[in-house]
A = this chain, B = another copy of it.
Amino acid sequence: MKNLLDIYARKKRDIAAIEKELEETVYSDHSLLRDTSIHLLKAGGKRIRPVFVLLSGEFGSYKLQTMKHVAVPLELIHMASLVHDDVIDDANTRRGQLTVRSKWDNRIAMYTGDYIFARALEVITQIHKPEVHQIMSKAIVEMSIGEMEQIRFFFNADQTIRDYLLRIRRKTALLIGISCQLGAIGADAPEWMSTKLYNFGYNVGMAFQIRDDILDLIGTEKQIGKPPGSDIKQGNITLPVLLTMKDPAMKPMILTELERIHKLDGQTDVSRFLDLIRGGTGIKEADRLSQCYIDKAITALDKLPDIQAKKDLIEVAYFIGNRSY
């Protein structure tokens, strides 16, 4: 978190304004909703989406008031989807904090997600541009299909790399893509710019998720805020695993481990599985693909004017591609 803040120290004041707006938006007279929502906000996160909104807005006529009304809903939609995901994943911690479902219960998590999502919609109505609502709602539909889709692939060793890429597209890349796009549209930047910025965000999002999935395999609990191997315990087979399984010498051993973990419903030590993957070439190959997405992202910015925001976007992209937390 600190590193990233250093990178975009220039926008610190506006990011703080958005942080305040996030809190005010989810504030409720209802004490339980207030508690669960504030718990979620305080658990932090990198606020990548708001930062991308702000930086993309600089390609048009930047007004903080408008940027807030774009950035806050995007971050809240992200948060709402995380709470619902935690229910599916039986996740107990996220970012080193107890999840809503573990601190309260699954039902409260479901309704907290509904509430935060509703608040997000309320804020975005302040933007009176039909295309903003259309772009956002289409992304939300895709995200919700992705949510359901992931269930189908839990512990499914027959899935292809394409299945994985489509999943992370819906889960992560689309929302980051439209964060850039809507930031630009909100600031009345020309359409060709908002499209380029979408491409930038989309590709950064793909890299971001791949990096996330790598970190789940090689990071320490301190770095990633949850025990390593959480993905496979939930049945989530990620890119490094799929790539490692391409090696005929590795595949049978991984399948045996997968089957064992599946049978025990993830309630087991997964260090043998982690050792297997760490011993193969999948992590390195996944990292290479992630770097390709970063390169694509940066190329998408080529024709955009060389303002400070462009340099910042590039820096954030490099940070994301190499982050270890």
Q: Which residues of A contact B (CB under 8 A)?
A: 28, 30, 32-33, 84, 87-88, 106-108, 110-112, 114-115, 117-119, 121-122, 124-125, 128, 130, 133-134, 137-138, 140-141, 143-145, 147-149, 151-152
Contact pick for A151, options B28, B108, B152, CB 8 Å:
B108
Q: Smallest distance from the beta carbon of A319 to chain B beta carbons, Å?
A: 31
Contact pick for A148, options B30, B106, B151, CB 8 Å:
B30
Contact pick for A110, options B30, B110, B121, B143, CB 8 Å:
B110
Contact pick for A144, options B108, B115, B138, CB 8 Å:
B115
Interface of chain A, main secondary structure:
helix
Contacting residues, chain B, for A122 (C-beta < 8 A): 134, 137-138, 140-141
Complex Cα gap A143–B114 (Å): 9
Chain B residue with the shortest CB-CB distance to A132: B125
Q: Smallest distance from the beta carbon of A179 to chain B beta carbons, Å?
A: 17
Q: B112, A137: Cβ atoms under 8 Å? A: no
Q: B110, A145: Cβ atoms under 8 Å? A: no
Chain B residue with the shortest CB-CB distance to A130: B128
Complex Cα gap A77–B212 (Å): 33
Interface centre among A106, A107, A140, A152 (most CB of B within 10 A): A107
